[in-house]
Structure 1
């Protein structure tokens, strides 16, 4: 990756991530649906009814069930029949939850048909809104050209032509493709194609695997990862169907996706953000409120300089942010360039203790509260190191698909601290990519628990 490409990553990746989907559609849908459920309950059940308890109970159940059934995971290529199927399943579970609530908390002196009427009215209202939004978005894409993605189809054969024709006729999906890129011509250059993708702000690349050799596929995969583009493969339909692989259908054409990122789901993103806010407030109020003054006094007594150390680092979508730490070194001009090494003379006595126990990282909970970081995620690097590793280490840029964390899977797996060998940074990237592709809230809890254990046990590379 060239320096010029690196300089353009920030702008291109932000445009790409913001253009992938309307991030507000899902949370607004949650809010509207739950508001309708609660409003209908307040009108149907006016006598001796604890609306607050019901709202909390039904809200939690609705969110959990909807996440399990992918009720709000409606994509561009989702069929109308799939939407109806999810509506039916969600409605059945909603009915069970409502009857469970009244059966446990109340003995109603009215016929059960009254509750059925409430369920029917609520489900009908949500169904109308859901189906309406489904067709509004389709018309918004086809008639007004909004909510679109720029795509490139690499390869010219029967399958790619079929896909191109499908996107051309189904403008409601919001995919814009200029033409098929013929790989078989002598004039084709993969390097020129990659440059064209950046210049034309292509969001997704649909690649026919039978058109490129292994080296070209690997090069294209690395390019997509390092430049935060979505790469999807069009398999050889004569051989791929014999394998049990997950893929989407666009018309009659099967398309493989390179990777699924759970935190692209707005519900998952909301869950993680809510946890980050609550956990960071707990640490800031419960721990830092009394610990910070003590540490500040000790830091000031030992050496001159500020209590807090601020450093630019790269975060989500490669954007730079100011990362906070307790100062653990004497003020020096190389702090932003050279990583701390074993026996580093720049570290103060109190700084050695702070780094050993990871207490120096506590101010980063303010970064979490501000939204620049998460409690758990890939650790952010100094800007100078990020540029260096992005050029040397394959798939390093994938780490920027999610917010950086105070702790992470790599750190609790033996890859914290100084990067002494190239295997250290490669191991860190492997763990970070695994975390990104396999995130769930339980994994975050396990990493936090292991981090706390390591703080008390001590770590060899904590210096």
Structure 2
């Protein structure tokens, strides 16, 4: 088996972003004019740089990005950034004379351009030496597939280590390693990072099998297209030199900005709830729960979080103390539930301590609800795509819950619908979808739900 060299590619972009921010701040300190050395301007100029970079895709530079594309990014970024730089003084410092503006702009442009190109070429040289590579195989033997294979062989600076190709039609080429099924086995044994499939000779059924394999095993799937495939709505077209390649569009949670926005909202919303609601409501509920039954006020249970990381999920105890709490889920007319607990569960007040889980970073306000560990083990085997819902943080509420798929699972269709809605949420997330789910959750608290027991 080939041993994978540990790669740190995902750190390259954050390092370059931080480096650019350091350059911008250092240039301003170097010229030391009071017009620039104030917290308002420093925050403004750095946030504007990042905001513009997001829309110009300034940091979307990959191993296959051509130098011409890089120059286009530089021109787009600085054209807008320079306007934003002068706009600050026109709007907020009108009439003031600020020294060295031309020299500062020139310094920004030259230094960032230099280091952008420097990192670009140093990475190419590094990959040319056999480091920071991606293990790749190709499925198919058409002319398009052969063009991609030739590219991997001739362009070593792209950082792709080509192992061979697989096709159901036998080929005499030295890199032919077997049929499609053999290729999937090979991909597992040799720890392949990316696969490239041509769509001329491979059936749709086989393509679906390959793509499902890639999805389950965290392998990048790329399609070498026919002309009609270029217009597929869930694929984006890129070029390796002059060769077109289709890549699946990134899902929302594959973007770092989604996690940043969601985490900031989680903290802000949870702090509001903790300060203005839990600070006075939890002491009242503590007294009521303790008077109603013996046992601890808070109940904690081990649940699966994002990427298989386990955490203790907190709830207000709504049952009598029992030994089956971690083994058997709640059912209708469950005699373990206390009289106060029935009210807490009906109004979902028992879930309130999970805002502390959110602040700790184990959970999110909105996301797939975490199941008991015994349920997770069972549904991993029985339900397709169940594991996919564990790719994001679990939530206090979720899309499945607001549409009634919560509580006891009586039949297989209950969990099927729940998982489908969770998968839909992950694939179609937006900030406004989260707001909608929170709004529906609050509405359901007052309206009540049939399965809230």
Which of 66, 79, 83 aligns to 1:79? It is: 66
Q: Is the 8 A contact 1:161 1:180 kept in 2?
A: no
Residues in 2 aligned to 1:103 and 1:404: alpha-carbon distance in whole angstroms: 46
Cα distance, 1:108 vs. partner?
A: 4.6
Correspondence for 1:151: 136
Residues in 1 aligned to 2:13 and 2:446: alpha-carbon distance in whole angstroms: 41
Of 328-337 and 42-51, deviating more is 42-51
Residues in 2 aligned to 1:23 and 1:350: alpha-carbon distance in whole angstroms: 50
2:226 is aligned with 1:240: no
Cα distance, 1:102 vs. partner?
A: 0.8
Correspondence for 2:151: 166
Cα distance, 1:180 vs. partner?
A: 1.0
Cα distance, 1:98 vs. partner?
A: 1.6
Residue 399 of structure 2 aligns to a residue whose secondary structure is: coil
Residues in 2 aligned to 1:130 and 1:92: alpha-carbon distance in whole angstroms: 16
Taking structure 1 as the reference length, what is the TM-score of the superposition?
Answer: 0.84
Structure 1 spans left out of the alignment, 5+ residues: 1-14
Correspondence for 2:394: 404
Correspondence for 1:11: none
Residues in 1 aligned to 2:222 and 2:317: alpha-carbon distance in whole angstroms: 45
Residue 141 of structure 2 aligns to a residue whose secondary structure is: coil
Residues in 1 aligned to 2:53 and 2:296: alpha-carbon distance in whole angstroms: 49
Which of 49, 60, 63 aligns to 1:62? It is: 49
Cα distance, 1:199 vs. partner?
A: 3.5
Cα distance, 1:390 vs. partner?
A: 2.8
In structure 2, do the counterparts of structure 1 residues 74 and 284 end up closer, same or farther at CA, with 3 Å as the change threshold? farther
Residue 9 of structure 2 aligns to a residue whose secondary structure is: coil
Which of 124, 128, 132 aligns to 1:138? It is: 124
Structure showing greater relative contact order (alpha-carbon pairs closer than 8 Å, 6 or more residues apart): 1
Residues in 1 aligned to 2:152 and 2:297: alpha-carbon distance in whole angstroms: 57
Residue 247 of structure 1 aligns to a residue whose secondary structure is: strand
Q: 1:276-330, CA deviations, whole angstroms, 9 ceiling, x for partnerless residues?
A: 3333333334433443333333333333333333333333223333323222223
Let me know the Cα RMSD of the aligned residues.
3.2
In structure 2, do the counterparts of structure 1 residues 63 and 47 end up closer, same or farther at CA, with 3 Å as the change threshold? closer
Residue 205 of structure 1 aligns to a residue whose secondary structure is: strand
Correspondence for 1:117: 103
Correspondence for 1:384: 374
Residue 381 of structure 1 aligns to a residue whose secondary structure is: coil
Residues in 2 aligned to 1:96 and 1:403: alpha-carbon distance in whole angstroms: 40
Which of 310, 317, 329 aligns to 1:339? It is: 329
In structure 2, do the counterparts of structure 1 residues 248 and 184 end up closer, same or farther at CA, with 3 Å as the change threshold? same
Which of 94, 97, 100 aligns to 2:81? It is: 94
Within 5 Å, which residues of 2 pair with 1:204-223?
Answer: 204-223=194-213
Cα distance, 1:90 vs. partner?
A: 1.6
In structure 2, do the counterparts of structure 1 residues 287 and 159 end up closer, same or farther at CA, with 3 Å as the change threshold? same
Cα distance, 1:104 vs. partner?
A: 1.6
Residue 134 of structure 1 aligns to a residue whose secondary structure is: helix
Q: 1:243-300, CA deviations, whole angstroms, 9 ceiling, x for partnerless residues?
A: 6763222344433334522332233333333333333333334433443333333333
Correspondence for 1:175: 160
Q: Is the 8 A contact 1:228 1:401 kept in 2?
A: no
Taking structure 2 as the reference length, what is the TM-score of the superposition?
Answer: 0.85
In structure 2, do the counterparts of structure 1 residues 159 and 291 end up closer, same or farther at CA, with 3 Å as the change threshold? same
Correspondence for 2:347: 357
Cα distance, 1:239 vs. partner?
A: 4.4
In structure 2, do the counterparts of structure 1 residues 446 and 149 end up closer, same or farther at CA, with 3 Å as the change threshold? farther
Q: Is the 8 A contact 2:236 2:249 kept in 1?
A: no
Which of 424, 428, 432 aligns to 1:438? It is: 428
Residues in 2 aligned to 1:230 and 1:376: alpha-carbon distance in whole angstroms: 28
